[in-house]
Structure 1
Amino acid sequence: MQYLGKLKPRYCERSIMRATIVDLRKVMQREGIDAWISPSSDAHQSEYPTEYDKCRRFLSGFTGSAGTLLVLKEEAYLWTDGRYFLQAESELKDSGITLMKMGEPGVPTLDELLEKKLKSGEVLGFNGSVLSFSEGKVIAGKVVKNGVKLKIGKDITNEIWLDRPERPHTKVFILDEKYAGKSASTKINEVRERMNGKDLLIISSLSDIAWLTNLRAFDIQCNPLLLSYFILEKDRATIFIQDKSLTDEVREYLKKNGIDIKPYDDFDETVAGISHKEILFDEADVSYKTFISISKKENANKLYSVLSPVTYLKNIKNEVEVANTKKSHLRDGVYMAKYIYWLKNQVKNGANLTEKTASDYLDNLRREDELFLDLSFPTISGYADNGAIVHYEAEYETAKKLEAKGLYLFDSGATYKDGTTDVTRTISLGENTDEEKLHYTLVTIGMLRLLNTTFKRGAIGVCLDIKAREALWEYGLDYNHGTGHGVGFVNTVHEMPTSIRNKINKDVYRNLEFEPGMIMSDEPGVYISGKHGIRMEILMTVVDKGEGFLGFEPLTMAPIDNEPLLVDVMTKRDIELYNNYQRQVYDSISGGLNEEEKAWLKEVTKEI
């Protein structure tokens, strides 16, 4: 999947959105602030924050999961990436906010624009708790040298967001070791070994804490995470968590695993009191405020910025996690096949279905699974030109009706107790144009070529990205998003820093080399505005091929629609890869289907 999380409360209407910017400027003037930054993240740098933390959405009206708002005295700007260009153009129309298309030629970055716009003596404000240190240091480095002052202590959005939701506190539950593969105490000891004798490690990432403790909750939509912080020392471990989230069972579990409990709101004060320690921290996860606290001269701490050892270990799944993930994908593949068969028949027979009512059927198939916990993200269901909006989310009132023609893209997944899934298929609902068929075939070729590549140990994502794009490039086509992202185990569906993309990460230590056990997506696409969108996605795990080489093994077992394929465009090797995958799909999931579904699957996966 390439992302999501779109809700539309009333305060996102454009008329009110403009009022929020006006009101914010009044508070800025009173507080002596000349520029205000509102990022998408929370205090844990989460990709999908709680409703309480969606300040940027409240202020701007832009509902995408990634974006940063800058409000100046007379201007306002919003940066987002290629996944959201079409959505942002629509949602920011007539708002007075200028869309800044990240990565496009001539578009300055946030720090570059601040350096140009702010003058000596002016004040830049932001909530230091929700801006990561890695982002904050770049911004501060550009403007402070020019005499600009920083004001980071107060969240002024509170002044105008009068009906702001409360911070969630769902009940925490324990993920059984038969699923996780290792106990929390074992994981803690492994992390301590990788701390290389340093005094303590600060952990702000909710995903990391969930993995480390084997605890889960539902504090964030579609993410089985608990709001918390964690400090790991040589001889002590402390979790900072809301008391309302804990049951007696979880309290006893934490005690058994040697983890002390402190109130969530005590974290800032605790961190500010750390002195004369050697501290490990991941600057992509800790907030700018946390860094300022631990770096005060009077505290005399020695700081070491690293990729968190928790993040590193979490990205490499153990054998039990991989085995469980395979089981979850087999069941998930059955639901995908049932859905495609049902949908094609419904549309063929003239059923009155929309993008939303159709995808509800798939969501409900997953919900009936006995190990189901939640959807891993809100299902993306886009028919025809809506498929070209990478993070389109259909709504009952405006969803497009499905017709017996064109292409339909759906990107979906679930979190089960034994794994997390994320799969995209584009299928034909009837007659297709030659252009649709060509683009569909090229995307399918790219997905399969990447899946079946073999590479030397030491490779990183940027080394392999071309495998998914080369067929598209031959026809002058491309897509404006990464090719693959890491996927967590009963955790976040986007697990960084594992990735496959065509740009190297500027933070070198976050360009992880592939290792057996890593799980990631493979999802090339083509998006033609006003016409169609095509994406094909599978999850795969890295496996050892021997002699210093690695490769991928598919986890996703969902059929590829053969109707829109142009076989003449495919090489002999492409045809072989297609037939091999389709054969695997049939052998893996046909046992979970009824006779009619099984006969259909036999036909759709036959050799070409």
Structure 2
Amino acid sequence: MTNIINKRIKKLRSWMRENGLSAFIFPSSDPHNSEYVAEHWKSREWISGFSGSAGTAVVTLEHAALWTDSRYFIAAEKELKGTDFKLMKLRVEGTPSVAEWLGTMLSSSETAVVGLDGYVNSLDEVSVLEQELATRGNISVRTDVDPVDELWIDRPVIPDNMVHLHPLEYAGEPTSSKISRVRQCLVDNGADGLLVTALDEIAWVLNLRGSDVHCNPVFVSYLLFSPEKVTLYINNLKLSEDVKVYLSTEKIEVEEYDAIVEGLRTYRGESLLIDDRATNYLLATAAPYEKVIAGVSPIASMKAIKNKIEQEGFRAAMLRDGIAMVKFLAWLNPAVEAGNQTEISLDERLTALRAEQPKFKGISFDTIVGYEAHGAIVHYEATPESDIPVESHGLVLIDSGAQYLDGTTDITRTIALGDLTEEQCRVYTLVLKGHIQLDLCRFPAGACGSQIDALARAPMWREGYNYMHGTGHGVGSYLNVHEGPHQIRMEWRSAPLQAGMTVTNEPGLYLEGKFGVRIENTLLIVPAETTAFGDFLKFETLTLAPIDKKPIVLEMLSEEEREWLNSYHRRVYDKLSLYLDDEEKEWLRLATLPI
């Protein structure tokens, strides 16, 4: 693979010389600013070989570098080894920004030109880059070039999978109601139109789902709100007769996907709301400048608050997912002891058990099964090359989830497979304490995730430990497993936590070369009480699966923490035992005995 990457870089540099470019930037996104993208838009992975979901690759005529965050430091080091790319660790002191690095690399050039594809870079990103490069010499930016179209010979096509209806029995609110609410938000923001580019927002508003992106039930399209109509821009081949009739009934007009640029140029409303941080440069600049209002799409916040039907759907999906998890956990240790198990075989077994559950539609992200040292690689995914035997000692970290018609699941368990070290038990217990402390939290309505993040980290901080990823993210309703705008993390995120939102609770600790620990449940934010100081919120734990007790150092848990674990395990047993055979039920009884 190393030789292939270097050959691609060489061809790219020849193309750059022919087209008068000094550098080219490859982001991880697509024209819709998606976190996970269809194969057609995986240009950064194609040029660099780095397979993580987040990163930016930059190639000059003589140098190459790739920026990514702490989730991928270990994986990126391995995947970039032997290539021209140098790893740049985001948010680590001494790491230059892309603009700073380009300013240094291109300092000897009198007239440097940096290229990027304006369809996969947001207006905000391009504007900031232009400003920063202008201060570092005579460096200009071109947005109308895409070398990959020419150089990636077998580039996958834009997906054309069929779109399907998401029934009201799962969606809980008709499209007409959602459109009315969006229009009211536009009035409140002084706009009469809205460009929607985020695929999960489009799917949510229209009560439609697709399969264009691996693990994410979305479809490639745009949605344009005008004063008198709503238009879906999509490849018509993706629409069945049933979907066409549905869209017509909902008064949604349909145009071809590529017609969006013309639709923006001829927009007849007085004002059009465009999110400059999420909308790609070429679309954002296609609309008449005098009509554009910069702002955030209201749909993300609307979608994040689950209605009663969606909440019940989550509870039902978590119950079925919990049944599959218990069947897997009951199987795990005996299977490992019998031998011939690997990280991939564990992944396959868990997926097969989930697939037996009603309403299963696939996994919600690629399963992470990290045994011992691989567990310290935050977003590790076993491949035939990296797959290792799983043995009856140490820890295995399993982060997994599923898509069901009525909900999306995301759960991590770290399981003892045999003898553990004192360090493993201590680290495991610190992570569990952090998990429990966040779950116990009550907070005033309007607080944001950054204000409660420290609760999960405090037990670890006292011991000099920390983790660099976020503590929690929103979860879609048979949609993307990661959704915002709310998050629980150290970095400031101002989006308020509100009743009806789902959010994960997933602190972890990772000791490179040794092991990793993460414990994750999905939560629902619900009302707690109203006092003289206002409304307070709390968490309802949706995930149902036992937390391994074997690694716990009991003396490290407070009475409150012990009672939380015992109460949670009572609930897990009461909810799941009705659906298990006698052998599985007995395993669960032992796994949930009070400590």
Class of the TM-score when normalised by the shorter of the 2 chains: over 0.9
Corresponding residue SS for 1:401: coil
| Equivalent residue in structure 2 for 1:105, among 88, 93, 105 | 93
Map of 2:594 onto structure 1:
607
Map of 1:582 onto structure 2:
569
1:336 aligns with 2:325: yes
| Equivalent residue in structure 2 for 1:454, among 442, 447, 458 | 442
Map of 2:271 onto structure 1:
278
Compute the displacement of 1:271 (Å): 1.7
Mapped contact 1:420–1:493 kept (Cα < 8 A) = yes
Compute the displacement of 1:188 (Å): 0.7
Letter in 2 for 1:182: E
Letter in 2 for 1:484: G
Map of 1:242 onto structure 2:
235
Distance 1:591 1:475, change over 3 A: same
| Equivalent residue in structure 1 for 2:299, among 310, 324, 331 | 310
Aligned pairs for 1:428-439 within 5 A: 428-439=416-427
Map of 2:312 onto structure 1:
323
Distance 1:231 1:207 in 2: 15
Map of 2:154 onto structure 1:
163
Map of 1:567 onto structure 2:
554
TM-score (norm. length: structure 2):
0.96
Mapped contact 1:281–1:306 kept (Cα < 8 A) = yes
Distance 1:397 1:90, change over 3 A: closer
Distance 2:196 2:470 in 1: 27
Map of 1:3 onto structure 2:
none
Map of 1:264 onto structure 2:
257
Distance 2:223 2:238 in 1: 15
Runs of 5+ unmatched residues, structure 1: 1-12, 506-510
Compute the displacement of 1:104 (Å): 0.4
Letter in 1 for 2:150: E
Corresponding residue SS for 1:37: strand
Mapped contact 2:227–2:269 kept (Cα < 8 A) = no
Mapped contact 2:192–2:269 kept (Cα < 8 A) = no
Map of 2:581 onto structure 1:
594
Mapped contact 1:540–1:554 kept (Cα < 8 A) = yes
Corresponding residue SS for 1:320: helix
Distance 1:76 1:536 in 2: 37
Compute the displacement of 1:42 (Å): 0.5
C-alpha deviations, 1:332-352, integer Å up to 9, x for none?
01111110110112123x231
Aligned pair count?
A: 586
Aligned pairs for 1:89-488 within 5 A: 89-118=77-106, 121-144=111-134, 146-196=137-187, 197-274=190-267, 277-294=270-287, 299-348=288-337, 350-488=338-476
Distance 2:6 2:104 in 1: 25
Letter in 1 for 2:227: K
Distance 1:48 1:361, change over 3 A: same
Distance 1:334 1:256 in 2: 39
Compute the displacement of 1:305 (Å): 2.1
Map of 2:522 onto structure 1:
539
Corresponding residue SS for 1:29: helix
Map of 1:514 onto structure 2:
497
Mapped contact 1:201–1:232 kept (Cα < 8 A) = yes
Letter in 2 for 1:602: R
Map of 1:4 onto structure 2:
none
C-alpha deviations, 1:247-304, integer Å up to 9, x for none?
000000001111000001111222233367311112232101112222xxxx352322
Corresponding residue SS for 2:366: coil
Distance 1:176 1:106 in 2: 51
Letter in 2 for 1:130: V
Distance 1:267 1:371, change over 3 A: same
Distance 1:30 1:312 in 2: 46
Letter in 2 for 1:575: R
Mapped contact 1:276–1:301 kept (Cα < 8 A) = no
Corresponding residue SS for 2:285: helix
Distance 2:404 2:285 in 1: 39
| Equivalent residue in structure 2 for 1:557, among 544, 557, 576 | 544
Compute the displacement of 1:581 (Å): 1.4
Distance 2:538 2:52 in 1: 34
Distance 2:202 2:471 in 1: 27
Letter in 2 for 1:565: I
Runs of 5+ unmatched residues, structure 2: none
Mapped contact 1:419–1:489 kept (Cα < 8 A) = yes
Letter in 2 for 1:339: F
Corresponding residue SS for 1:512: coil
Map of 1:10 onto structure 2:
none
C-alpha deviations, 1:15-37, integer Å up to 9, x for none?
10011111111111111111111
Shifted more, 302-311 versus 494-503: the winner is 302-311
Distance 1:562 1:276, change over 3 A: closer
Corresponding residue SS for 2:186: coil
Distance 1:200 1:116 in 2: 42
Map of 2:492 onto structure 1:
504
Mapped contact 1:172–1:250 kept (Cα < 8 A) = yes
Mapped contact 1:469–1:524 kept (Cα < 8 A) = yes
What percent of counterpart residues are identical?
Answer: 40
C-alpha deviations, 1:349-368, integer Å up to 9, x for none?
x2311111111111011112
Compute the displacement of 1:531 (Å): 0.8
Letter in 2 for 1:160: L
1:16 aligns with 2:13: no
CA RMSD, 1 decimal? 1.3
